Chain A
Amino acid sequence: MFNYLEYVREKNLPHIWCSGCGDGIVLKALIRAIKKLGISKDEAVMVSGIGCASRTAGYIDINTLHTTHGRAIAFATGVKLAKPNLHVIVVTGDGDATAIGGNHYIHAARRNIDLTVLLYNNFIYGMTGGQVSPTTPRGKMASTAPFGNLEPSFNIAGLAQAAGASFVALGDVYHVQQLDKLIAAALQKKGFSVVEILTPCPTAYGRRNKQATPVDMMNWLKDNVILKDKLDKMTEDEKADKIASGVLWDVEKPEFTAEYDKLIARLKAEKQAKE
C-alpha cells in the first residue's frame, strides 16, 4: 500500500476541495511521481498562484510558496535561478496561468527555465464561483457567460509549445496511470515543462453545462481525451471535440539556469587567465 502520508501535511486535512473535484487526484499522482523518481522533499519546492489548484501547496510536505494571482511562474523563476539545485514545481490553474499570468507563462517557456508546470485545466474559475476562463469552450455557460461563452478558447498546451517550452504534455484525472507517467517525465525534463491536466469542476462548471455529477464529468474525460497517436489515426468526423493526450512535444534545447552557470564559469576563467 502506497503511503501518501509520507508526503502530505496530515494536520491540514481535510482539504478544501469540493466533492467530485479532481485536484486531489493530481496531488496523489504528483506524490507518486516524486516518490518514484526519489526526489528529496527538502530539495523540492512547490510554487503556486491563486485558485483551487494553487491550494495544493498547503497539503504537500515539501517547501511550499503560495503567491499572488497569476504570478507563480515569476516567483518560481526567482527560486530556480537563485538556487538551481532545487527542484521547482509550479502548480497553477487555467485562469491563473493563462489569463492574469499569461505573460509569465509564455516568457518562462521562451526562456526555457527548468520549471515543471502542472496546469490544472477545469475550464472555469472555480474558487470565485464559476466565471468564464480563457479555456471555457465557446458556447459553454459560466456565471459571467450566462448566455453562453462568445469567445474562442486558448489551446494552452500549444501556446507553451509555440512560446519555446521543451516539454509539453496533456493528461487528465480519469486516465491516471498515464498522468503519473506524464508528470514523472515532466519532472525529469531539464527545461520548461508543462503538463496540462484536465480536471473536473462539477460545482462551478458541470452543473451549468449538463454534466451535473462528478461521474458525468469523469465519463466525459474517459470518452473525449484520446491518446495523440490514436487520435491521429481517426477520421475528421471521429476527431470532433476530442482532445489529444500524451506527450505532445519533447525537444532538447539549452536551459536558462544552466546557461547562466556557464556564463559565471566563463567569466571566472577569463578573470583567472588575466591574473
Chain B
Amino acid sequence: MFKIKKFERGLGIARKRRQYDLPLNKGNGGNFLKLLIALMTFLAMLGVASIFALSAMTDRWSSGLENKATIEIPAKDNSGTVFEQSHMDTLQDQVFNFLQNYPAVDTVEVMDKEEIKSLVAPWLGEGLSYDNIPLPGILTISFKDDVIFDTDALENKLKTFAPQIRLDTHQSWLADVLRFTGALNFAAVLITIVIGITTIVAVAGAVQSRMAIYHEELELLHLMGAEDSYISRQLQRYVLILSLQGAAIGTAIGGLIMFMVGLLAGEMDISLLPDFHLSIMQIFLLICLPLLVALLGMVTARQTVLRVLAQMP
C-alpha cells in the first residue's frame, strides 16, 4: 500500500485525502516542533514532579509538629553536677503535674527510658550500655487548638522547677526547614512557568517561521477572502497534532525517568526524604500536563497566526 502511494506521488498524483491548504507537512519544521514540545513536556513534568515531591517533604516535616512541643529536663544542673535518678523522677513528676493543669495544654506524655535510648542511639551507638550515662527526661505536650498562649511565659514557669529546663516548640528549626523547602518549591514553580513561557515563545517562533516560508500561499488564501479564523484553524490543528505527539513522547520519557528515580530512592532508604507516592489528584494532573502543553501550543499558534494576518492589507 505504501509503495503504491509513493509510486502515485512519483507520478504527480495527489493523495486522495485532503491536505491542509498550506503545505504544512512539507519539510522538517514539523519534526522540530514535535521534538521541542517533547522536551518542554519532559522538563515541565520534572518541574511539576519536583513541586509534588517538595510539597510531600514539607507536609511530612511539618505534620505532627504543629501545636506540639518537647520539654527537656537535663540530667545535670548548670554547674555540671549530675542529678540523682530519684531527683530526676521527682522533677519529671512535678513538671508533668504542672503541665496537666496548664490551661493551654491538651495532652502530656512522658517519654520512657527506652524511647529516649532509641532516640540517642544513632549518635551514641547501638551496643552501648546506658546504665551509667545520664539521660534527660523528656515530655511531649500538645496544645489546645483554640487557645492562644505565650510560650515564653510557659518556659519561665517551667524554669521555676529547674532553671535548666528547656521548652522546644520546634518552631525555630521547623521555620528554617519550611522556609528552605518553600524556596525550593517556589524555584520549581518558577522553573515550570519559565518552561511554559519558553514553550509559548518557541511555538510562536516556529509558527512565525512557517508563515514566513509559506507567505505566498497565505497571501493567496487572504486574497481569496479566507477569514482569519479559516487560516488559523489549519495552523492550530497542525500545531495541536504535533504538540499532542510531542507531549506524548515527553510524557513517556518523563514517566520512565520518574519511575526509575522512584525505584532508586526506594533502594537508598533515605529516611529523611519522603516516599515518592503520587496521589490520585497528582497522577491526574500529570496526565493532564501533556494535554495542557498541547493546548498551550494550539492557543499560541492561533494567537500568532491572527497577529501575523492582522498585518496583511
A and B from one assembly? Answer: no
Chain B residues at the A interface, C-beta cutoff of 8 Å: none
Chain A residues at the B interface, C-beta cutoff of 8 Å: none
